[in-house]
Amino acid sequence: MNLTIDQGNSSTKIGFFDKGKLIATYKPVFLDKNTLTPLLERHPTENVIISSVTDNTDFINEFSRNIPGKIIFFDHETPIPIKNKYRSPETLGKDRLAAVIGATTLFPNIPLLVIDAGTAITYDVFYNNTYHGGNISPGLKMRFNALHQQTKRLPLIQHAPAPFWGTNTMEAIRSGVQNSLMMEFEGYISKINQEFPNAKTILTGGDADFFVSYTKSIIFAQPNLVLSGLNRIIEYNA
């Protein structure tokens, strides 16, 4: 059994894998001894991999004696099953790289565009068994927050279905943010398909469910892509 932990900017996801299959996921509010103890009792674990943007991994020290296999703190020096051409690997978000590796388990030997719609939105490109880099853009909530915080009168609103053309200020904000992001998605998908007609686009992240119903392009939604990538990395090392 492998335990995968993905600590992001706004949430934490935990996944347990048995023989390559994801058998359970959890989204704890806090990651500490009280959270992990009952989960490890429920799912006896041999190996652990942790990807954290906060670098707050002291909690795992309490369990290290009870883990018979490997404990990997995923960073730019961790061996991975693909090539990485990012010129500053130490600054590359670990979740970005893990998501790409997770995508390769779904579509091996196929060019890929991986879109992670979280706090920030990342667009990452993979082909010829190599990660070639990508782009970073403000996420959905970040754009709503920016319009509210950087102006005096625009309200803070949440995403929801809206007409394409807004007929009041709230609709104008909502439609403007959401449609501009969808056009951004479509532009990146069109770009990868021009370069690689057989490419697949995979969408993941906290806002993936909202966006997947809006895109007109063929797209695959996979909410546990980062966890799958982390499991592939620990299998590669263990």
CB proximity list for 69: less than 8 A, separation 6 or greater: 46, 47, 48, 238
Which residue type is seen at 227?
A: L
Per DSSP, the three-state class of 28 is coil
Q: What is the CA radius of gyration of the chain?
A: 19
Q: Retrieve residue 26's tokens.
A: 């959890």
- The answer to whether 78 touches 165, Cβ cutoff 8 Å, is no
Give the separation between CA 221 and CA 158, rounded to whole angstroms.
Answer: 22
Residue 75 appears among annotated catalytic residues: no
Out of 95, 116, 124, 207, which one is annotated catalytic?
A: 95
CB proximity list for 93: less than 8 A, separation 6 or greater: 53, 122
Q: What are phi and psi of 172, to 5 degrees?
A: -65, -40
Which helix (H) or strand (E) covers residue 51, if one does?
strand 47-52
Q: Retrieve residue 81's tokens.
A: 């099953």
Task: State how beta strands 120-127 and 112-117 pair.
Answer: antiparallel
Question: Most distant CA pair in the chain: distance in Å?
Answer: 61
**What Cα–Cα distance (Å) separates residue 101 from each residue in 28, 90, 208, 210, 213?**
24, 17, 18, 23, 25
Catalytic residues: 95
